[in-house]
Amino acid sequence: MTSLQLKDRIEGKAYESHGQSFYELNEKEQFNVVGNAIMEYLVPEWIESKRKFGKKKQAYYLSAEFLMGRALSNNLVNLGIEGEVKQTLEEMGVDYNALEDAEDDAGLGNGGLGRLAACFLDSGATLDYPLSGYGILYQYGIFKQNFVNGFQVEEADPWLEHDNPWLIKNSNDAVIVEFSDNDKVEAVPYDMPIVGYGGDTINTLRLWKAEAIHKFNFQAFDEGKYIDSVKAQNEAETISRILYPNDSTNEGKKLRLKQQYFFTSASLQDLMDNFKAEGHKSFDDFSKLHSIQLNDTHPALAIPELIRLLEKEGVDFERAFDITQKSMAYTNHTLLAEALEVWDKGLFTSVLPNLYPYIEEINARLVRELKEWQVDKDEWHNFLIIQGNSIHMAFMSIYATRAVNGVAAIHTDLLKTDVLKSWHDMFPDRILNKTNGITQRRWLLQSNPQLSGMITDLLGSKEWVTSLEQLKGLEPMQDDEAVLERFIDIKREKKQELSEYIQFHEEVDIDPDSIFDIQIKRLHEYKRQLMMAFYIADLYNRIKADPDEEWTKRTFIFGAKAAPGYYIAKAIIKYINELAGKVNTDPDVNGIIKVVFVENYGVSYAERLFPAADVSEQISLAGKEASGTGNMKFMLNGAVTVGTMDGANVEIVEEAGKENNYIFGMEVDEVVAKRGNYDPIAAMKRTEGLEQVVESLVDGTFNDNNTGMFQDLYNSLTAEDQYFILEDFESYRQAQDQIASDFKDQKAFYRKGFINMANAGKFSSDRTLEEYATEIWHVSKQQ
């Protein structure tokens, strides 16, 4: 594609879509026009990719979330046309960075589970595997986060308000999803191209939008009942309106259940319609051509739904169960009991009365097998899908699939020895480990071009972009002064870029010469953002008490969203913002430490934060974090980890060395031992300075605007301290103080970061995807 061809295409698209010259459009409109021009370029290859995989076994990733981020730069990099497009736009007088910023982050996910799904799709296409995604086209995503008086305030994130060039509506593939006899909607698919690096394979993410079957009631309108005339459409669209609606009410729970059934049913109908259209005579071949991965329990309803759909085609239950089990695999993402979905039977049958009998039948089959296996009835509660008025989705997902995987070595071991021990004892070969990974194309090549260029120069080629294990070749260069100085210069450049970005967006001045200590992830008590905040409060108190000490300059950065109904998480956000206000306005300390809570943290913000980090905060209570993927992105960009032996931290330390990271706190066995004999107040009192920090929650130091939030936070800590913040605090403080001391010798400190980067090869999603493809899905790449 020549510069002239691209210019002509862009100008043509502008007239076609807006009736104006490209130069008369605003930045949002210009972005859409350029996106449409790129889509015209890639669609032929997209069609060819579908054709080349047509007769082969394919994998399908069902997920409630796909946290894709912006697509423009990612697509240009992977297509190999970034340079030409940027040059053409420069010739046209267009600011590419402004154009890039005009793209909204796709509102399709929230946390690590969704970003993992996005990384897998990238890796699947890059490695030439036939991997498609299925999810929901959320109109507003999760929410846009604002801070008002330090409180998180949610508002709609209208990411689809403007045309999105990456989505193609395919009305001909729409299907009907039936919740009950009188409640059904149309599922309309929108396809998004997933461009593999090199552009040879372009896979598909199919997203379903809910619409009413009869969108407009003319008779009601004619009678003056204008609201009633569009009621059906409004109710249908609610299903795909928002990711994770607040489920603290029955109506919220019902909507979540509807969402889960909506996209799993639509996706399976799509697969079966295609299977029949290809002329297959027997559904026995279905599992030979389809491998369906359930990303957590959100898509678990696919199990009874596939059995139901097969029975509609004349397949008896036992055969349908066998086909379903052979076709499906389940990824477990959590060790938290509350995250292993359990549905109330009454609520379930009120929403999905036609599906419940199939769950009963699956459970009855399980009961028969428990009897055959002579399992003691006292142990049945570890297996049964239906127990009293509860339906256990994780148990159904384990029983009715052929493989279950954890997402980090320690997580999988805990599944086998604790959370799912009974299942592992029964099926010792079913639970596998697949340590998570991240795509280096987005999280290094795209987000950190300076470091990418250095790596390419040092290794002599760009092969690392698809073979991240080649980073190991950098390790012998750790003592090369010129290499280390270049690495440090790049880190400072990224810190300067982030400083300017934060100053513009958050209106906080931060010092790029300070330590950038960053914790960015979903806000949850087990992730212990509060412990980091307590360290800052304690450090503040120590500086106030001894201002003449040689304190290391530090900037602490948080980014996180709390679920709208998660009260304590919102209290923690308010506390951190109050702490930031106190620290940042105190002239005695604000030249030494700064605190920033970035607003509306998402993928695009993350692309600036990971490359600038000196310290990666991975401080969850041991045994609670399944894996983490943020820890890998920090490592890849040359940050050291301060963390517990939890999740993928264990493997990070194995790869890069404990001496190059800062490990603290209790390990899993110590947490278990401590659980039965723990006095949080005693832990607080024996730790110097900690009582003053905790008491500041309720002594008037900080203002919760008379909500009682800080009192509730104080009460939960002193009464229970479920996540052992007070117990682990002293060990954490020692690790943090060691970081401050080590940073004084910057070359030695950054050598640790360099070594981490050089040993990040294992954590590519390419490696993880290859393991899924060969060991679980049994799909082959295009030759």
**C-alpha to C-alpha distances, 562 to 46, 112, 154, 522, 573, nearest whole angstrom:** 37, 14, 10, 7, 8
Catalytic site residue from 333, 430, 570, 733? 333
Q: Please count the other Cβ atoms lying within 10 Å of the Cβ belonging to residue 186.
A: 19
Residue type, 485: E
Tell me how far the alpha carbon of residue 36 is from its chain's centroid. 27
Per DSSP, which regions of 352-423 are E strands? 386-387, 390-392, 403-406
List alpha helices for 549-667, DSSP H. 567-584, 603-612, 630-636, 649-656
Chain mean position to CA 1: 35
> What distance in Å separates the CA atoms of residue 407 and residue 412, rounded to the nearest whole number?
7
Do residues 195 and 42 make contact, with C-beta atoms less than 8 angstroms apart?
yes
Q: Please, are residues 310 and 320 in contact by the beta-carbon 8 Å criterion?
A: yes
Of the residues 298, 430, 491, 633, which is catalytic? 633
Apex 715 CA angle, 519 and 600, nearest 5: 30
Instruction: Tell me, yes or no, if 281 is annotated catalytic.
Output: no
Question: Active site includes 56?
Answer: no
Nearest to 114 by CA among 159, 42, 64: 64
Angle between helices 112-126 and 72-79 (to 10 degrees): 20
The CA R_g of the chain, rounded to the nearest whole Å, is 27
Q: How far apart are CA 250 and CA 241, in angstroms?
A: 17
- Concatenated DSSP letters of 501-513: HHHHHH-----TT
633 is catalytic: yes
DSSP 700: S
Is the C-alpha dihedral spanning 684, 688, 690, 693 positive or negative? Answer: positive
Phi, psi (rounded to 5 degrees) for 596: -130, 130
User: Annotated catalytic residue: which of 629, 644, 687, 768?
Assistant: 629
- DSSP labels, 181-215: TTEEEEEEEEEEEEEPTTSS-EEEEEEEEEE-SS-
Question: Which of 254, 256, 290, 527 is an active site residue?
Answer: 527
SS3 547: coil
Closest CA to 108 of 197, 211, 190, 201: 190
| CA dist., res. 2 & res. 648, Å (int) | 45
CA distance 204 to 191: 6
CB contact set of 253 (below 8 Å; sequence gap of 6+): 247, 343, 344, 347
Residue type, 282: S
How many Cα atoms sit within 13 Å of 577 on the Cβ side?
23
Cα–Cα distance measured from residue 185 to residue 187, given in angstroms and rounded to the nearest whole number: 6
Annotated catalytic residue within 9, 206, 442, 522: 522
Interatomic CA distance for residues 287 and 272, integer angstroms: 11
- Backbone phi, psi, residue 179, to 5°: -85, -45
Q: Quick check: 441 and 77 in contact, CB under 8 A?
A: yes
Cβ proximity of 157 and 107 under 8 Å: yes
C-alpha–C-alpha distance, residues 367 and 362, integer Å:
9
**How far from the centroid of its chain's Cα atoms is residue 622's Cα?**
20
Distance, in Å, from the CA atom of 757 to the CA atom of 739, rounded to the nearest integer, reads 18
403, 408, 409, 410: CA torsion to nearest 10: -110
What is d(CA 62, CA 328) in angstroms, rounded to the nearest whole number?
10
Q: Which residues is 432 bridged to in the sheet?
A: 405
Active site residue 570: no
What residues are annotated to the active site? Answer: 333, 521-522, 527, 629, 633
